[in-house]
Amino acid sequence: MERFVFLTFDGLSRGAVYAAFALALVLIWRAARIVNFAQGAMAVAAAYVAYSVTAATGSYWLGFLAALAAGLLLGAVVDRAVMRFVDHTSPLNPVIVALGLVLLIQAVLGMIYGNEFRPAGTPFDRAALTVGGFAVVSPYDLFVFATVGLMMVALAWIFARTPVGLRMRAAAFAPEVSRLLGVNVGGMLALGWALASGVGALAAMLVIPTELGLHPNAMDLVFVSAFTAAVVGGLDSPPGAVVGGLVVGLVLSYVSGYAGSDLTPLAVLVLLLAVLLVRPGGLFAPVTARRV
């Protein structure tokens, strides 16, 4: 029982990060109809910025802010400098370009920092607190919950309550009409990319200390898990991404706790295939006729 409770909280903590990362994928998918396969590499780049800032100033929080800023900036740059010029008639093209970006970003990081694992610090203790004799949740987990929760509330507020959010939704929903009504559609697209990439950077900052450490390829498996989460929830649905993230986090936590951590990659693949084959639109997809 104690183990189950511990694994549940561990899974929720992991799941919160996957949810954030999946949310980043969903944001770009809704704005531009692109699954950003470079998300993981972009997030790692932001985490490396944080590493450098923290090493230079000695402050985790300055590094954290730097990662967010770098994430936002990188997202806008990738959209403005690369993705805008890709021919979108085929869904293969943006995917291939994003994969080129993965190679490029990881190679540049490897050239600057080297391809070894670097320890990533945490602002709070990762040892679990005991409540009533159960080892339940660590201060760091609480920090993760709080950060992800705050971020989601902020995103929901931006999209639902602010004029900018309204314009972003309009630009994604009906670009031509929005343009006629005076919305800067290109700018909104860049802003969407920046927001998504910032969210991805945040997720990377939260997840990397709990894994092996900072490495150019550190987010590969996280990306696959987050993609699974986004597919579980449906690529079109932000609440679905959150639920999907938590589901994936819990499944992975139970698998690694009860069956061995070696099996988690396989579990991700099986889960992804199962969802795609049984309910390709995700658990939260409305019933639609097949588009032809």
Partner 1 sequence: MSATRAAAPPERAATGAPADGRRGSTLLRHLAVAVAVALLVLAASYGLAPFRNFQLATVAAYLCATAGLTVLTGLNGQLSLGHGALMATGAYTVALCQGAFADHGLTGGWLLAVSLVAAILVTVAVGAVVGAAAARLRGPYLAGVTLAVAVVVPALTVTFDGVFNGDQGLSVPVEPPPLALGAYFPYERWQLWIAAAGTLLALVLLANLVRSRYGRTFRAVRDDEVAARLAGIHVARTQVLAFVVSAAGAGLGGALLAVLAQSVSPGAFSLTLSLFLLMAVVIGGLGRLAGALWGAVLLVVLPDLTHSVTELFTVSPAVAQRLEGNLPLAIFGITLVVVMIAAPGGVQGLLSRLGRELLARWPGRRS
DSSP at 287 = P
Structural contact between residues 165 and 158, judged by C-beta atoms closer than 8 angstroms:
yes
Q: Determine, following the binding rule CB under 8 A, whether residue 154 of this chain makes contact with partner 1.
A: no
Instruction: Name which of 165 and 249 has its Cβ closer to partner 1.
Output: 249
Number of residues interacting with partner 1: please give it, by CB under 8 A: 53
Q: How far is the CB of 240 from partner 1 (least distance, A)?
A: 15
Torsion angle defined by CA atoms of residues 58, 154, 251 and 37, in that order, rounded to the nearest 10 degrees: -80
Q: Determine, following the binding rule CB under 8 A, whether residue 292 of this chain makes contact with partner 1.
A: yes
Residues in 30-69 that interact with partner 1 by CB under 8 A? 34-35, 37
Stretch that binds partner 1, among 7-15, 27-35, 163-171, 187-195 (CB under 8 A): 27-35
Out of 106, 138, 197, 210, the only residue in the binding site for partner 1 (CB under 8 A) is 106
- Alpha-carbon gap, residue 25 to 60, rounded angstroms: 26
Out of 2, 114, 149, 184, the only residue in the binding site for partner 1 (CB under 8 A) is 114
Residues in 187-216 that interact with partner 1 by CB under 8 A? none
Q: How far is the CB of 159 from partner 1 (least distance, A)?
A: 22
Out of 52, 60, 187, 220, the only residue in the binding site for partner 1 (CB under 8 A) is 220
Instruction: Name which of 29 and 140 has its Cβ closer to partner 1.
Output: 29
Out of 5, 110, 128, 285, the only residue in the binding site for partner 1 (CB under 8 A) is 110
Terminal-to-terminal C-alpha distance of the chain: 50
- Alpha-carbon gap, residue 261 to 267, rounded angstroms: 10
DSSP string for residues in 209-235? GGSS-B-TTTTHHHHHHHHHHHHHH-T
Residues in 221-240 that interact with partner 1 by CB under 8 A? 221, 223-224, 227-228, 231, 235
Amino acid letter, 27: L
Beta carbons within 8 Å of 31's beta carbon, 6+ residues apart: 168, 171, 172, 188, 189, 192, 193, 196
Q: How far is the CB of 142 from partner 1 (least distance, A)?
A: 30
Instruction: Name which of 122 and 264 has its Cβ closer to partner 1.
Output: 264
Phi, psi (deg, nearest 5) at residue 96: -65, -40
Q: Determine, following the binding rule CB under 8 A, whether residue 77 of this chain makes contact with partner 1.
A: no
Interhelix angle 264-278/238-254, nearest 10 degrees: 140
Parallel, antiparallel, or unpaired: how do β-strands 129-131 and 134-137 relate?
A: antiparallel
Structural contact between residues 180 and 235, judged by C-beta atoms closer than 8 angstroms:
no
Q: Determine, following the binding rule CB under 8 A, whether residue 176 of this chain makes contact with partner 1.
A: no
Contacts with partner 1, residue ranges (CB under 8 A) = 29, 34-35, 37, 82, 85-87, 89-93, 95-97, 99-108, 110-111, 114-115, 217, 220-221, 223-224, 227-228, 231, 235, 260, 262-263, 265-266, 268-269, 272-273, 276-277, 280, 291-292
